[in-house]
A and B are shown apart, each in its own frame.
Chain A
Amino acid sequence: MEAFEILLTASFWVAAIRIASPLIFATMGELICERAGVLNLGIEGIMTVGAFAGWFTVYAGGDLWFGVLVAALAGGLFGLLHGFLTVPLGLSQHVTGIGITLLATSITYFSYRLLLPEVTSPPKIEPFQALAIPVLSDIPVIGPALFNQTPLTYLAFVLVALVAWIFYRTPIGLALRAVGENPSAVEAQGISVTAMRMGAVVVGSALMAVGGAFLTMSAFNSFFFEMINGRGWVCIALVVFGSWRPGKALAGAILFAAFDAYQVRLQQVTGGVVPYQVFLMMPYVLSILALIAVARRASYPKALMIPYQKGER
């Protein structure tokens, strides 16, 4: 009974939406890349870079929003590298992506040790504060969960709407989707496939980095090593689970986050009978199960992971 009552508490839903926010940014980022035909396994490392770059900017005296911008730029830079290696050069997207993750993570850790050599406990910043929306935040349960969050969380939801609008209502969105399905047709329209794909990877990577920055600037207030902890890989699973659609991916992210918030609370209810590692495992297990569940009807973008060569069919 207690296990069920958790679902009715406001604090549970507040936590779920908070946990979902970084996943939403990063999942949208990955979704944009993959819709254009480029798998971006750099996501885990790019989120690490974003988490550090945004946090350090604020720690060094920058404004919070300036920190978000720096995180996005840092992510975009690694996206540019991933895009250059996989789009014009056509290198294996798997190998390059893993390489980008290794590079981005190690450069972040190197920078951390270089910039903060003396610290034993990670220094803290003043993170984004919750911003209550008048009237709406007074609704029971839903109010605090949806309308009393930090500005970055609101931005995450706006982002999903924006991505969906661009995808399905604008010419550039149509071109982007077509680039991932049938690049030759796009090229025949006089649009550069290379430019579209590069643009998608840079923008997508910037969003992943903002997702990472959410962790250090909104959810927590300092940077830890290995704090991304597989969230990037979970987002790759969420893109598949959401059938490469922004709305479905959002639903997937919230579902996943709710599950994550639930397992933490369930852990307290069960009071140590079950080892805590079992609960911590559940989100990863859930991701794999979700992939199996949708595998039959998964419709990959047809040109995903296929390098495009002009004039080749």
Chain B
Amino acid sequence: MRLEPKKSPSLAGTILYPLGAIVATLVVTSLLVLIAGASPFNVFYLVFKGAAGSQFAMIETLTRATPLIFTGLAIAVAFRARLWNIGAEAQLYIGAVTTVVLGTGALPLPAPILAPILIAAAMLAGALLLLGPAFLKIRFGVDEVVTTLLLNFIVLLFVSMLLEGVLKDPMGLGWPQSQRVIADAQLPRLIAGKRLHYGFVLALAAAALTWFIVKKSVLGYEMRAVGHNPQAAGFAGIPVRAVLIKTALLSGGLAALAGYSEVAGLKGSLTLDLSPGFGYTGIVVAMLAMLNPLGVVASAIFVAGIFVGADAMSRATGVPSYIAQVMVAVALLTMVTAIMLSRYRLRWK
């Protein structure tokens, strides 16, 4: 068996293969649902209903999509330059820590001034966190996959230490949680009384801005060139190391915004379960979007819908809600296969 590049990917192929990936994902998930003793049609219907069947469901889905847009963008930016940032989870938490440190009263400023400061500070913290692994990669050739992965564990322990120490809320009844951020540090709700907040708007703005950087700026071009072939890029006069550093700063900053938005917009305080793996799910979000920043918005809403819908479905049918994680993982694997098949032809011989 061998692969031959297609001269030009046909339009039908570009649509049909991803469609095939979705079908394959549904088939695999159906098998698991059947094993669980439920009807796949009923389960998929309930997932859809739970994700988009009512105003409440849709608002919940968009709320859940918000951090995924940020982490998805972070991964998309990094993977474009083949900087394997698997540490979005850690960057998210550092962004949240920064928000809590500065937002619980240390800076008594009005909201219009405080919000940009918190955003900038959170981004800076996340950027600096990814700068470490990027530097080690460039300077010593240490694989950033392992360092960013290990940093996830280190940072989570660090946050746990802070929440049981200096950041612990004295009024928190002994729970490891931080104080709530002050009113001026909070992002307002989009609709009064509903959970959806201005973090979602910030996420859309970040997606648009990232799209511009990636598609229209010199840096975006350089990132693609470095990702495609670093040697050739260097030969063509592109400062490979500088591009990787800039990519790391942007990626880490975007991931940290997820932490800022969750604290300032939704939760109000920092706990150890702030993120149920948003950093890892961001990888799936980015891959499903084929690393396109605007596609990230769509795929984040799609993935969030599966999670929100599966929770509702699980309560109704008893099928474990982990089916959502399985579905998302299968979607990732089938989608990367589909993308490959739309560009190459398989020859058996």
Contact = CB atoms under 8 A, between A and B. Distances in A.
B283 A98 contact: yes
B154 interface: yes
B2 A102 contact: no
Interface centre among B3, B141, B146, B284 (most CB of A within 10 A): B146
Nearest to B283: A98
Contact of B161 (A92, A194, A278): A278
A85 B153 contact: no
Interface string A278-311: 1011001101100110011010000000000111
B325 A109 contact: yes
Contacts, number: 130
Interface string B77-113: 0010000101000000000000000000000000000
Contacts of B141: 295, 298
Interface string B137-155: 0001111011101111110
Contacts of B160: 277
18 contacts: A95-B336, A99-B284, A102-B280, A102-B332, A106-B322, A106-B325, A110-B32, A110-B322, A110-B323, A113-B320, A230-B149, A275-B164, A277-B160, A278-B161, A288-B142, A288-B151, A291-B143, A291-B146
Interface string B37-77: 00000000000000000000000000000000000000000
B175 interface: no
B147 A277 contact: no
Nearest to A39: B145
Contacts of A296: 140
Interface string A162-181: 00000000000000000000
Interface in A183-219: 194
B2 A309 contact: yes
A237 B147 CA distance: 9
A99 B325 CA distance: 11
Interface residues of B, number: 47
Interface centre among A278, A281, A285 (most CB of B within 10 A): A281
A90 interface: yes
Q: Classify the secondary structure of A's interface with B.
A: helix
A169 to B, nearest CB: 30
A231 B154 CA distance: 13
Interface in B153-187: 153-154, 157-158, 160-161, 164-165
A266 interface: no
Nearest to B318: A117
Q: Which 3 A-B pairs rank lowest in CB-CB distance, beginning with the nearest?
A: A106-B325, A113-B320, A103-B329
Given A90-B340, A113-B320, A103 B3 contact: no
B154 A285 contact: yes
Contacts of A95: 79, 283, 287, 332, 336
Given A109-B322, A281-B157, A281-B158, A287 B150 contact: yes
Contact of B146 (A92, A113, A233, A275): A233
A284 B153 contact: yes
Interface of A: 41, 81, 85, 88-92, 94-96, 98-100, 102-103, 105-107, 109-110, 113-114, 117, 194, 229-230, 233-234, 236-237, 240, 275, 277-278, 280-281, 284-285, 287-288, 291-292, 295-296, 298, 309-311
Contact of A309 (B3, B158, B284): B3
Given A90-B340, A94-B84, A281-B153, 4 more contacts: A95-B336, A103-B333, A284-B150, A292-B142
A107 to B, nearest CB: 6
A237 B329 contact: no
Nearest to B150: A284
Contacts of B2: 309-311
Contacts of A311: 2
B232 interface: no
Nearest to B133: A288
B16 interface: no
Contacts of A292: 136, 140, 142
Contact of B35 (A100, A114, A291, A310): A114
Interface in B265-311: 280, 283-284, 287
B336 A99 contact: yes
